[in-house]
Structure 1
């Protein structure tokens, strides 16, 4: 009995432990028991949910998986998503549907505007190309090259090759660069064309340099033979018109008396090239289509041939009774006496470089200005940039205008036509301003690359067009 009163039962031990929890001093074994219990509680997720995925991974799986898949996962005992995750998934699905809808609407719309931008860009590029390489008229000359391909029509006339074309005082500079040489200039109405010729293997080839020469691009194939064909059609002999007109009709049906100037720039030895050119002009000469000097007067014909570059002036004037190749006189030495003797920077620059492109013979130098007149020369030409100077800023000075007027008066007094080359081409309004000044001062021929701009004669200055 005594021993039993001192025995402690397990239940009383637990009760005493519960009562003493709030006591300041706890037994050490109780603290150890509580710490081990807390450790077990903190580590509980590690062994209870080892196969669960991350929250965003489960959200994406719930969005892109089918409902049956979600049900099967739940049936396997997976922990269902929390309410906040379900709301996030619902919102995400709505936004995804809106995104797909906007994507389906905006992608075609953006593609449409991109195509419009591409078309607009191509249009701008083509516009720039046509501005700097103006061959808009070339498509209209196809019937000239293949007249037999068109069916006969009562609206066609024997001389309709140049109908409705008004001649314009322009010179087609480097005409052989056109898509259709000669015909492009005629379609625009230009009354002068230029061909650079090179003598090789007893043939005259046309090109800007030797690297541009080809066997088929010859003076005869590009200019002489086409001109013979055109003039034969312009001067027909039919049962209604039994004889050839005298004087001969020129290339322009609207102005049959207008001569076409063929400026031949000698690029090789002058004497040898002269002999070959004289020989190749025989088809035009034999038909009476060339302008010529008969020893007394100059008889105008449908074609006037002018030599420039290395053309020998002594050979031009060697025959005093007949000549049908005329000279391109140097305009800078023809200025009137009142400015000829005045020292100035413009005159010094002019003498140093003014004769570029016109190789004068000793005879021409000896006689100076008195050597040139309408019996041996047709043009009087010089570089505007080297003789007069550039119009800066955007206008000619009084000294430049006085020199220009003196040169023009000197050439006209000798019966020659004035032509300035090396004109500014850009900006377009500056070019138009220079053209308008030259025409106003009496220049007879505009040396141009833009055939359309010269033919339209729209030279009025626009305020907002200086840099176009």
Structure 2
């Protein structure tokens, strides 16, 4: 028979370990720990654009832009924008200031580039021409493509919406990449030096709403598309997905790299818990950091 003191010591040890794990989880939730899989959809709609996302550890941030009288205005719908809310004032300059303070990084100690996804709402070529001039001001912090070589820096610019495909593909030197249609990955196998991401609207790929089991046929379909994108070094995102833990979990299990959300805190808490629960899982894991030259 074990001595009461020994039994008590073991119980106290287990309790202590549990408390430490709980405190560690709570600490992670309260700090800006970089989350490689977190994507802030329509970030500018939050009370504090950019900063709310960064405070919650987001490493992928989206901004919609309109070209209006030479300025790149951040807004979701054309009639509802304010001239002072430009891409530069809301995103590029604050990011540059933060990087300067953090020794060249958005998050101290986090060397993977932060993705700024720019969704072009006006004409692709005209808007990109204006964007190129602006990006040149921030060349020192932006990932670049130069004569066949990709150089990773603190921020990677990826273009979505009205995409200037031909302009991007014809350039030998540029500071932007493209978000590809995930469903066309097998047809256009251009490498990640052009396409950094491959995205698709959730409802165009899947019908599962997060209730019950994830249908095997849909899971196999998604995993096949993810595998194809990963083969060419492209990270995967499904936008407008149900904002449910069950959906987020299955997307990650299929290897989807970026979880799209409007609920910054909810996804942050889920990802922290998911990492603790599934960190040693043998399921198909997302690719957190791809470097393709």
TM-score, shorter chain, exceeding 0.5? yes
Query: Could you tell me which of 173, 188, 192 is aligned with 1:369?
Result: 188
Conserved? CA contact 2:118–2:157, under 8 Å: yes
**1:316 maps to what in 2?**
168
1:216 aligned to 2:216? no
Unmatched 5+ stretches in structure 1: 1-139, 141-163, 236-248, 336-367, 426-430, 461-468
Partner of 1:418: helix, strand, or coil? strand
Partner of 2:229: helix, strand, or coil? helix
Conserved? CA contact 1:252–1:258, under 8 Å: no
**1:357 maps to what in 2?**
none
Q: Residues 126-145 of structure 1 correspond to what in structure 2 (within 5 A)?
A: none
Q: Residues 13-412 of structure 1 correspond to what in structure 2 (within 5 A)?
A: 164-168=31-35, 169-235=37-103, 249-255=104-110, 257-285=111-139, 288-319=140-171, 321-334=172-185, 368-370=187-189, 372-391=190-209, 393-412=211-230
Please tell me the root mean square deviation across aligned C-alpha atoms, in Å: 1.6
Query: Residue 392 of structure 1: CA displacement?
Result: 6.5
Conserved? CA contact 1:327–1:377, under 8 Å: yes
Conserved? CA contact 1:198–1:267, under 8 Å: yes
Separation in structure 2 between the aligned mates of residue 334 and residue 268 of structure 1, nearest angstrom:
25
Query: Residue 440 of structure 1: CA displacement?
Result: 1.5
Whichever structure has more helix as a proportion of its residues is: 1
* Highest RCO, 1 vs 2 (Cα 8 Å, sep ≥ 6): 2
**2:3 maps to what in 1?**
none
Calculate the TM-score normalised by the size of structure 2: 0.79
Aligned residues: 243
Separation in structure 1 between the aligned mates of residue 208 and residue 265 of structure 2, nearest angstrom:
24
Partner of 1:265: helix, strand, or coil? strand
Unmatched 5+ stretches in structure 2: 1-29, 278-293
Query: Residue 283 of structure 1: CA displacement?
Result: 2.2
1:441 aligned to 2:270? no
Report the structure number with the largest CA radius of gyration. Answer: 1
Superposed CA offset, 1:86-140 (max 9, x none): xxxxxxxxxxxxxxxxxxxxxxxxxxxxxxxxxxxxxxxxxxxxxxxxxxxxxx9
Separation in structure 2 between the aligned mates of residue 217 and residue 395 of structure 1, nearest angstrom:
43
Partner of 1:277: helix, strand, or coil? helix
Conserved? CA contact 2:105–2:154, under 8 Å: yes
Calculate the TM-score normalised by the size of structure 1: 0.50
Separation in structure 2 between the aligned mates of residue 217 and residue 394 of structure 1, nearest angstrom:
43
